[in-house]
Amino acid sequence: MLRTFVCAAVALAFFASVGLSADKAAKIKTFKGMVKKIDPVTGTITMTVKVKKQDTDMDFKVPDTAKVVVFTGDDKKELSTKDGLKSDQLKEGAVIAVITDADKNVTEVQLGDLPKKKKKSQ
């Protein structure tokens, strides 16, 4: 009887933690758009994104812990935030993707030949 109870409690704890992590992962957002302005000193990127079929300017504060990923064909190069914000490829008019976590903090900035989203097969 005790063994059944313990197994049930462990299974419940496991599935509850899986559910919470899946919920947190669902809140990660990717914003794709065109760079309008970059301030490497303050670490701020202003970009134009489409929200509900309208162009909207959004400001993102990029912390030192974020990474900047430059895609060139099949090659992928990771840069520090300071180096990435000063990169020649990150300029006005460049198409980028900004990835934020569940707390809306920037975790990654992607630029260059951005990878295409894979469609799920049914």
pLDDT tens for each residue of 18-33:
555 545 555 888 899 9
Residue 45 lies in a domain: yes
pTM of structure: 0.69
Residue 74 lies in a domain: yes
Residue 102 lies in a domain: yes
Residue 48 lies in a domain: yes
Q: Are strands 106-112 and 67-72 parallel, antiparallel or unpaired?
A: parallel
Question: Mean pLDDT in the chain?
Answer: 81
- Domain assignment of residue 107, given as a range: 28-112
Total domain count for the chain?
Answer: 1
**pLDDT interval class at 61 (50, 70, 90):** very high
* Residue 79, pLDDT above cutoff 80: yes
- Judge whether 55 and 49 are in contact, CB under 8 Å: yes
